[in-house]
Amino acid sequence: MRGPHNIWRLIRTGATFERTGAMKVALDAMNAPARIRIAARILGWPFAWLGYKGDPAMPPVTRAITALGPAYVKFGQILSTRPDVVGVDLANQLAMLQDRLAPFSQEQARRTVAAELGRPVETLFSEFSEPVAAASIAQVHRARRLDNGREVAVKVLRPGIESAFRRDIDAFHFAATMIERLSPATRRLRPLGVVNHFESVVAGELDLRLEAASASEFAENTAGDEGMAVPVPYWHLSARRVLTTDWAEGLPLGDVAVLRAAGHDLPRIGARVLQLFLCHALRDGYFHADMHQGNMKVAANGEIIIYDFGIMGEIDEYTRRVYAEILMGFIRRDYERVARVHFEAGYVPRDRDIKEFARALRAVGEPIFGADASRISMANLLAYLFEVTERFGMATRTELILLQRTMVVVEGVARSLDPQINIWEVARPVVESYIRDNLGPKAAARDLTRAVQVLGRFAPLLPEYLERRMPELLREAPPPPEPRRRWGFAGGMALGAVVALAGAALGAWLG
């Protein structure tokens, strides 16, 4: 129930942020208006002694969030996909909120597996380890199937996590509502929309059958992609609170020293991570939206193993084409094209000046393209782009924000492997290939064929629709002008025949 009783939860949250020093950092990062700062101060400062202390070794914001519990950790992870709300620097800090929580007991995990799968663990697995990773919603155990000896990863939801999330999401909704009322200017950032997005993501993650479906779809889409692998889910060993997949055996992508010592080609891996992400986003419209180092490994043969499909991104075909054109415009430094695409897609209000918008985009792109490879940053580009779009009244689009945020994360991964990587040069062949296949004559013919197929499916319904609607349309239509001379039925037919013959003759002459 989203009522005033949530004030106590917000006071405890504000107190924790105040006590850990996270309040000022968060408000500065979001450039919060005075009203929000005052409200936060009222909720935080007098009650700081009520706040959780947290781990002093952590940065202030991550310290506060981890102290507040699983729902806040997950909310921080979701906010890391919204640099337009929290700023790029804070978004990057929040993206590191992975595996920060203490695990629950192996015995509890065994009870959950037995209850969900309907059989004791001993009848399913010959081995079932202690937790190897514990995150905000679930933890992972390494196991071995009893029937075929295959190594698997068993993901188990935390006990009572559903009710805990419901309580905290309730408070988040209350806070977002108060923020919009106190500061109407924040409505452009859609605080309530952010919370609703968070709620939908969590709802998906709390049902591990949906994550299994995401893993299965992603594996099918990428089956032909070289240099990558996806752990396959086992449906008969999965349920709402348990997910079993192949074990991802490899070296952590975040351990650069170990990867280098193993003889892996780090620049090649970095470039491949970026290209794979772009390929999945543009080609499939379905991409892994949490591609940080903790969700990827490198196999002995150099393949990139991608796992943990709790957060996935999806964009429709039209948006993919728009995004590809925007990227291509920046790559070619054609700022008028980028501006035109924004206006045609309706991302920028039509009452704004397109020439002025193009000049603003040039101010975004040129300083970046004038830099050396190590300073060409997608993160910087997006930070400047958010400033420009805010100035021109561009509304927040969640699907694009998630796509852009993931690209920033992927850039960070690629740059950790190869500090000299030129992001744009690596992205160029993927974007050009997509544009060639989807914006050229073949794509136009394909779109036309698809439109004809849709019309064909509805063709049987047209006669009935016209019979039902035509009398109404004729009654509403203005009367036709009185002709000077009445031709009659025969005269009309003759005139039609003459026009048809004339058209045929003209067509033959032109051909």
Q: Is 445 exposed, middle or buried (0-12, 13-18, 19+ CB in 10 A)?
A: exposed
pLDDT tens string 234-283? 999 999 999 999 999 999 998 899 999 999 999 999 999 999 999 999 89
Inform me whether the pLDDT recorded for 465 exceeds 60.
yes
Which pLDDT score, from 0 to 100, does residue 249 have? 92
Instruction: Tell me what pLDDT residue 375 has.
Output: 61
| Residue 274, amino acid | L
Instruction: Give the span between the Cα atoms of 381 and 336, in whole angstroms.
Output: 17
C-alpha–C-alpha distance, residues 164 and 128, integer Å: 27
Average pLDDT score over the chain: 79
Tens digit of each residue's pLDDT (9 = 90 or more) over 113-145 = 999 999 999 999 999 999 998 887 899 999 999
Examine the pLDDT at 501 and tell me if it is beyond 50: no
Task: Output b/e per residue, 406-417; b: 16+ Cβ within 10 A.
Answer: bbbbbbbbbbbb
Is a pLDDT exceeding 60 seen at residue 511? no
Question: Average pLDDT for residues 282-310, to the nearest whole number?
Answer: 91
Catalytic residues, by residue number, are 290
Q: What pLDDT does residue 54 have?
A: 84
The pLDDT tens digits of the residues spanning 358-376 come to 998 888 778 766 665 566 6
What is the predicted pLDDT for the residue at 210?
93
State the Cα–Cα distance between residues 355 and 103, nearest whole angstrom. Answer: 56
Q: Where are the domains of the chain?
A: 6-99+166-182, 249-455
| pLDDT confidence of residue 106 | 94
The strands making up 138-145's β-sheet, listed across from edge to edge, are 125-134, 138-145, 151-157, 242-246
Say what the pTM is.
0.71
Q: Is the pLDDT of residue 6 over 60?
A: yes
Give the integer Cα–Cα distance in Å for 31 and 461.
Answer: 55
pLDDT digits (tens, 9 = 90+) for 47-102: 777 788 888 888 888 888 888 877 788 778 767 656 656 766 777 677 667 655 67
Give yes or no for residue 453 having a pLDDT over 50. yes
